Amino acid sequence: MSTTKEKTLIWVYPTHKWVTDCKQTFVYGWAKPDSKLFIKCNGSEKSVKTFPNGNFAQVTKLPYKENIIQLVQVTGKNKKTISRKIIVNEKKMKRKNTQFIQEQEKKTPQKKSNSFRIVIDPGHGGKEHGTHSSKGITEKHFNLQIAQLLYKKLNKNFKVYLTRNKDKFVSLKTRVEVAKKNQCDLLISIHHNALPDNENPLHHKGVGIYYTHSFAKPFANHLLESISRETKLNKYGIFKRDFALTKPSFCYAVLIECGFLIHPEESEYITQKKTQEKIVSGIVRGINLFVNNAKPL
Q: What is the C-alpha separation between 34 and 127, in angstroms, rounded?
A: 35
Q: Do 50 and 73 touch, CB atoms closer than 8 A?
A: no
Is the model's pLDDT at 34 over the cut of 70? Answer: yes
Taking residues 180-200, report their average pLDDT.
Answer: 93
Is the model's pLDDT at 93 over the cut of 60? Answer: no
* Minimum mean pLDDT range among 52-66, 107-121, 152-166: 107-121
| pLDDT at 90 (0 to 100) | 73
Local confidence band at 105 (pLDDT 50, 70, 90 cut-offs): very low
Q: Which domains does the chain have, with CATH numbers?
A: 9-88 (2.60.40.10), 99-293 (3.40.630.40)
Is the model's pLDDT at 199 over the cut of 90? Answer: no
| pLDDT at 94 (0 to 100) | 44
Taking residues 209-221, report their average pLDDT.
Answer: 96
Local confidence band at 85 (pLDDT 50, 70, 90 cut-offs): very high
Taking residues 113-140, report their average pLDDT.
Answer: 90
Q: Do 9 and 71 touch, CB atoms closer than 8 A?
A: yes
DSSP codes of every residue in the chain: ---TTT-SEEEEESPTTEEESSSEEEEEEEE-TTSEEEEEETTEEEEE-B-TTSEEEEEEE--SSEEEEEEEEEETTEEEEEEEEEEE--SPPPPP--HHHHHHTT-------SS-EEEEEE--BTTB---B-TTS-BHHHHHHHHHHHHHHHHTTTSEEEES-SSS----HHHHHHHHHHTT-SEEEEEEEE---TTS-GGG--SEEEEESSGGGHHHHHHHHHHHHHHH---EEEEEE---TTT--SSSEEEEEEEEETTSTTHHHHHTSHHHHHHHHHHHHHHHHHHHHHPPP-
Q: What is the largest CA-CA distance in the chain?
A: 69
Taking residues 33-39, report their average pLDDT.
Answer: 93
pTM, two decimal places: 0.85
| pLDDT at 292 (0 to 100) | 83
Taking residues 249-273, report their average pLDDT.
Answer: 96
